[in-house]
Chain A
Amino acid sequence: MQIYIKLLANYRSNLPDGANGDQISIVVPEGISSEKILEMFSLPPIPESVVLINGRTIIPGEPINEGDVICAFSAMAGG
């Protein structure tokens, strides 16, 4: 299924070259977890990373569906 990945602030640099701003679309298997997505982009797990699904706080184990926007940024912003 196709989903959208937004990586914000200092996480932007983990997007592949040629990404449009801070967002890309990717095709992933059904049932993929947010943890797996963070791994795919070499990002630290929750709670070091904050993950939103369609702008809301993701609930652990919450299913990700076709067309969802998964956004991640660092909780370790430093201040």
Chain B
Amino acid sequence: MFAWHGKILRVNLSSKTIKVEMVDEEFAAKYLGGRGWAIKYLLNEMDPTTDPFSPENMMIFATGPLTATVAPTGNRYMVVTKSPLTGALTDSNSGGFFPTEMKRTGFDMFIFEGKAETPVYLWVNDDHVELRPANHLWGKIVPETEDLLLSETDPKARVACIGPGGENQVLFASIMNDKHRAAGRSGVGAVMGSKNLKAVVVRGSQKVDVAHPEELEAYCKAMSKKVGDVMKAGGAMRVYGTSYVPPITNEMGILPTRNFQSGRFEGIAGITGDVINEKYLKKPKPCFRCPIACGRETKVDDPKYAGEGEGPEYETIAAYGSGCGIDNMAAIIKANYLCNEYGLDTISAGMTIACAMEMSEKGIIPKDRIGLDLKFGDPDAIITLTHQIANMSGFGKELAQGSFRLANSYGHPELAVTAKKQEFPGYDPRGSKGMGLLYATSNKGASHMAGDLAYSEVFGVPRKIDSLSLENKPELVKRFEDAFAIIDSTGLCVFLSVRYMFEDKVELWPTPLSEIMRLSTGYPFTQQSLLDAGDRIFNLERLFLLKAGFTIEDDTLPHRMLYEPLPEGPGKGHVVELDQMLPRFYELRGWSQDGIPTNDKLKSLAIAEYQLK
């Protein structure tokens, strides 16, 4: 095979057994790789009703066929497991350099089963695979963990690890790689912690062979040059990273503000990318083989919030900034550093604190319970509470359960802004209706990365559409969901793929992507076969959710989105008319109006073995 190794490492942490398994090209191509391979294994091998913290939950690290190839941004992997935050499937994506090194060990995928008796880490050095004790690492933050691991394995190895957040099973703990990159969402770090798995360290020398190396190199070089030229001409993602976004979403009135009480933030001037560039940016940073370089190396000298690291991303600025009513960028960046060091999802952490701020201001949670007079706009509070969440101390113990459980425990479920119990990302769907349908139908709860049609509703890619209209949104949500399932399975980064791997049509037609997949793997992929694969993967994930007990009752949005109109901005007076979009979405998906894939649909996707009797 080309691009794929066709080799999987299966690690049973309970019995400490390690096995190598092979997959054939038919399987490889049908499920693409990454997210697609992983869901097939989860669906076939585990009971979806399993407790996410039980040893029976499987956790999979999955690269794609394009990871570690010459394809621009071929540097990604997915962590796929059952989420303790949502109870649904999750697939969390990360880049940097770990995924490339992992692919170079000669394995496409690592499967983790069971639970180690005491903390361990996995060391994979090409064919040499070893579970090593990690007691000496347990309790250490991410940067320290990585430094120690590199000193006892190989200084050129790459590390994915958890910090105290995952060890303490904070429901939104992340898995960090290369110190500052995050498989952030849905508590994948907590699952890893529940298995007593502190880290995975990889060092590989296996080249990834491709089917048509000269043609592929020429094609990819041309694409990289095109993107690089845009960047050199002052492309916003090179100049600002994702921090160019806050003024745009604020102008559109969809920037989460004070727990989504509004979509416009009066403190916007304090949280723009220009503020980062003027005061905190050291330099842009690319992942492996990336011509964009959206990463930010930053430093804060203000002694109150001093630190150094990478980020913040837009989502962090929305969650810890406007979401909490905070316009102090130094404090936001410090909170970001803490999340990276502890291994926490910045979105869920920030928005859970925001929910607590609203409940505190409304007198729902007493001051002595929180330990401080918690209000929106308090930059010190976000620092204090982030420490507490990671260490499960004080009020942090309650925050560590996420905003859905927090709000419900105080009898105010309407104050949690979540879908399938996961906190919303930085686009208020009352002003961006397609995003509302996305959050409600995503297989991993509220996630913009499940099919980010903010690309169209906000950023004009492939073209700008009216974010306040419902027209064509079910069609677009389905198309974006399928496209992202493809991208997540190939090992590419969304940031390049959405703009350059699809033809410039509203339909997101994957001509360049199918060409790169064909040249890499040698398999005769077509645009349609790729879209079918994306649809197939999305349906398999849906089946997992249905077997886990999810129903159409869960394809919904929180109270604030359905019943509380935006108070200001272009979307003033708007709510999300989900009931006007869902039926058409189910129809397009080939599902019954109960949200269940029909047998005909499953047969059309060549997964008839999952037909419901």
Which A residues have a C-beta under 8 Å from some C-beta of B? 6, 8-10, 12-13, 21-22, 46-47, 49-50, 52, 54-57, 59, 69, 71, 73-79
Contact = CB atoms under 8 A, between A and B. Distances in A.
A3 to B, nearest CB: 15
Contacts of B235: 10, 74, 76-79
B234 A52 contact: no
B460 A21 contact: no
Given A21-B269, A57-B464, A79-B495, A71 B251 contact: yes
A28 to B, nearest CB: 20
Contacts of B237: 77-79
A9 B248 contact: yes
28 contacts: A6-B251, A8-B244, A8-B251, A9-B240, A9-B247, A10-B235, A10-B236, A10-B239, A10-B240, A50-B459, A50-B464, A52-B251, A52-B570, A55-B253, A55-B569, A57-B465, A71-B251, A74-B235, A75-B459, A75-B461, A76-B230, A77-B237, A77-B244, A78-B238, A79-B237, A79-B242, A79-B496, A79-B499
B463 A47 contact: yes
Contacts of B184: none
Given A50-B460, A78-B231, A78-B237, A56 B248 contact: no
Interface in B450-474: 459-461, 463-468
B570 A55 contact: yes
B252 interface: yes
Contacts of A59: 466
Given A56-B466, A56-B570, A57-B466, A79 B251 contact: no
A9 B273 contact: yes
A57 B466 CA distance: 6
B236 A78 contact: yes
B274 interface: yes
Nearest to A56: B570
A20 B252 CA distance: 20
Interface string B241-258: 010100110011100000
Contacts of A52: 251-252, 570
Nearest to A49: B460
- The 5 tightest CB contacts between A and B, nearest first, are A79-B495, A55-B570, A78-B235, A75-B460, A78-B237
B294 interface: yes
Contacts of B247: 6, 8-9, 22
Contact of B236 (A6, A9, A71): A9
A76 B227 CA distance: 10
A78 B569 contact: no
Nearest to B462: A47
Nearest to A76: B230
Given A74-B235, A77-B459, 16 more contacts: A6-B251, A8-B248, A9-B236, A9-B240, A9-B244, A9-B273, A13-B234, A47-B460, A47-B464, A50-B460, A50-B464, A52-B251, A55-B251, A56-B467, A57-B465, A79-B237
Interface of B: 227, 230-231, 234-240, 242, 244, 247-248, 251-253, 269, 273-274, 292, 294, 459-461, 463-468, 493, 495-496, 499, 569-571
A32 B236 CA distance: 28
Nearest to B568: A55
Interface centre among A9, A52, A71, A74 (most CB of B within 10 A): A9
Nearest to B498: A79
A9 B458 CA distance: 14
Contacts of A50: 459-460, 464
A10 B464 contact: no
Contacts of B273: 9
Nearest to B467: A57
Contacts of A54: 570
A12 B234 CA distance: 11
A77 to B, nearest CB: 4
A57 B454 CA distance: 13
Contacts of A9: 236, 239-240, 244, 247-248, 273
A10 B569 contact: no
Nearest to A74: B236
A31 B569 CA distance: 24
A51 B347 CA distance: 28
- The residue in B248, B252, B468, B493 that gathers the most chain A C-beta atoms within 10 A of its C-beta is B248
A51 B239 CA distance: 20
Contacts of B461: 75
A12 B460 CA distance: 18
Given A8-B248, A9-B236, A9-B248, A78 B464 contact: no
Nearest to B465: A57
A56 B457 CA distance: 10
B251 A78 contact: no
A5 to B, nearest CB: 12
Contacts of A57: 464-467
A7 B546 CA distance: 46
A13 B274 CA distance: 11
